[in-house]
Amino acid sequence: MEYGAERKEFLRESLDYLETKEVYDLFDYLMRELILHQPEDPLKFLIDTLKDPQPLKIIILGPPGSGRSTHAKRIADTYNLTHVAVGELLRKTLAESDEEAFTKQVASGSLVPDDVVVDLVKKELEGVKGGWVLDGFPRTRVQAQALQLNRIIPDKFILLNVPENIVRGRFQEKNVSDSTAADDSGEAVELRLQHYYRHLMGVLHLYQPVVHQVDGTLQPDQVFAGIQAHISMRPYSNAPLRPPRIVIVGHAGSGRSTQAAKIAKHYGVVHVDVAVVLHNLSTITESEVSHALKGSLNEGTPVRDDLVCEAVLKRLRQPDCEKKGWVLDGFPKTPAQADYLRKAHLTPNRFINLSVKIDTALKRLSERLHDPLTGEIYYADNLPTEGAVKNRLVTSKYDAADVVTKRHEAHEEFSEEVLHMYPHQSLTITCDDLDVLALFESIRDFVDRPLPREVATTFGAAGMAATAAFKE
């Protein structure tokens, strides 16, 4: 291998390592901790930080009646965090100091002065070892700024959204069954709602990068599922952006190539259609490879893995793919092909699997025509206007009913195993009833959102490895 090629391969391996082991995220976390704590001995501080996993710190906010405290307790139980219920803390503290004044304040629905509640929360958090979930605080911008000044920074900020009319309805139902709660009277609830919405935007502005909104009108288990999804989501990284590497596979007739073309156009990446790559390769030279490809393409039988892998690798190594990124259409379909990508340091950062029923696939593909000269695919609604092209269109042997059924079964056989190789960056979309635009919106939402990560090691795989090394 020449020096230039060797250097290029080393660079690919290095970038792949830094990304897969989340090294950039690790350094981002360590730098943040240094800035927050500003220790006298930075090196010792970093070593100590690496010895223990990063504690998870969560703020959960929502209007009165949103079920916030119930979900906060469930978060604490699920993730082994300390539940800091600020409302209960205030009730206990103020009732002990002046029970009569406290009762009047609760009944009126007014807020406790910022300095009082900030001091209570700060003192409470100082006694917490490990992670915590802060329930119902901060309520005002002043309180939020006080937390930041005291270097109390959450990893996640969960906002429960419940419309005011639903909140009022919940309190009316509650008051019918229980009239003993001093702070659930109509006037008190109205005042609490006014305070909440008056100060909400000021609080959210300070936590904008980590805020995630959850629909609080759903069933409790559905709300908690939304909360968990956010907690397990990888934060936005400051790592250098690498070009997108997107894979889209799916059943025959799932609309995979149409979506791949839309992805390529939207993100400015190269559309690498494996079927077209193989077709072009089969027509270029009269060789053993081209004869093997022609035979497979003409008979509708699978192309040998080694031929497909070699053709895909050669295409993805082209300058346009390396510079712009790519969407790989129809590959990998087997675990061996997926492993080949991994060994070539071409692991995708998004893997999309489109699923349709066999009846849907047969109906769609019975209407498809193929240009044997160019490899282009046409349907009844987009037939070419040029007569010569139109006259040479044929039904591909790949689209015959028996072949489509076999292809559908082959995809079913391997898809689960291939998807298992991409646990965090894969998504399966059932698209029998989705039109082209709705399907693309689902794909785009998946490509744009951050990836999930293991919650137990929130500073990533590199931090986990470093922690293990220091503990040995």
Cβ burial, residue 143 (10 Å; 0-12/13-18/19+): buried
Within 10 Å of residue 333's Cβ, how many Cβ atoms? Answer: 21
Task: Specify the pLDDT at position 469.
Answer: 41
| pLDDT tens string 366-396 | 888 878 787 778 877 778 888 888 888 887 7
Give 457's DSSP letter. G
Sheet strand arrangement including 132-135: 82-85, 132-135, 57-61, 156-161, 211-215
CA distances 269 to 214, 313, 322, 426, Å, are 32, 16, 10, 19
Within 10 Å of residue 145's Cβ, how many Cβ atoms? Answer: 16
| pLDDT tens string 230-273 | 887 766 666 666 788 999 999 988 999 999 999 999 989 999 99
Closest by CA to 85, choosing from 133, 151, 152, 143, is 133
Q: Give the span between the Cα atoms of 415 and 13, in whole angstroms.
A: 27
Structural tokens at position 247? 């894979």
Structural tokens at position 69? 């405290």
Confidence of residue 417 (pLDDT cuts 50, 70, 90): very high
* Interior angle at CA 241, CA 235 and CA 244, nearest 5: 95
Residue 7 above 50 pLDDT?
yes
Confidence of residue 10 (pLDDT cuts 50, 70, 90): confident
29 — alpha (psi -120 to 50), left (phi > 0) or beta? alpha
Burial code of 256-272, b = ≥16 C-beta within 10 A, e = fewer? bbebbebbbeebebbbb
Cβ contact 248:471 at 8 Å: no
Of 141-145, 355-359, 412-416, which range is least confident?
412-416
Residue 67 above 60 pLDDT?
yes
Q: Give the span between the Cα atoms of 181 and 337, in whole angstroms.
A: 63
Q: Do domains 55-217 and 245-449 have the same CATH topology?
A: yes
| pLDDT tens string 214-227 | 999 999 999 998 89
389 — alpha (psi -120 to 50), left (phi > 0) or beta? alpha
Q: What is the fold of 245-449?
A: Rossmann fold (3.40.50)
Residue 471 above 60 pLDDT?
no
Task: Specify the pLDDT at position 468.
Answer: 42
Domain spans, the chain = 1-51+453-472, 55-217, 245-449
Q: What is the fold of 55-217?
A: Rossmann fold (3.40.50)
Phi, psi of 105 (to 5 degrees): -65, -45
For tokens 């000021």, the residue is 202
Cα of first residue to Cα of last residue in the chain, in angstroms, is 39
Structural tokens at position 408? 């559908």
Beta bridge partners of 58: 133, 156
Phi, psi of 357 (to 5 degrees): -75, 160
Within 10 Å of residue 169's Cβ, how many Cβ atoms? Answer: 12
Phi, psi of 125 (to 5 degrees): -70, -30
Residue 69 above 50 pLDDT?
yes
Strand, coil or helix: 85: strand
Query: pLDDT: is 51 or 22 the higher one?
Result: 51
The maximal CA–CA distance of the chain, rounded, in angstroms, is 96
Beta bridge partners of 350: 246
In percent, the amount of the chain with pLDDT more than 90 equals: 35
Task: Share the mean pLDDT of the chain.
Answer: 82
Strand, coil or helix: 241: coil
Residue 300 above 90 pLDDT?
no
Q: What average pLDDT does this structure show over 337-360? A: 92
Beta bridge partners of 210: none
Task: Specify the pLDDT at position 246.
Answer: 95
Q: Give the span between the Cα atoms of 369 and 460, in whole angstroms.
A: 48
Q: Give the span between the Cα atoms of 351 and 429, in whole angstroms.
A: 11
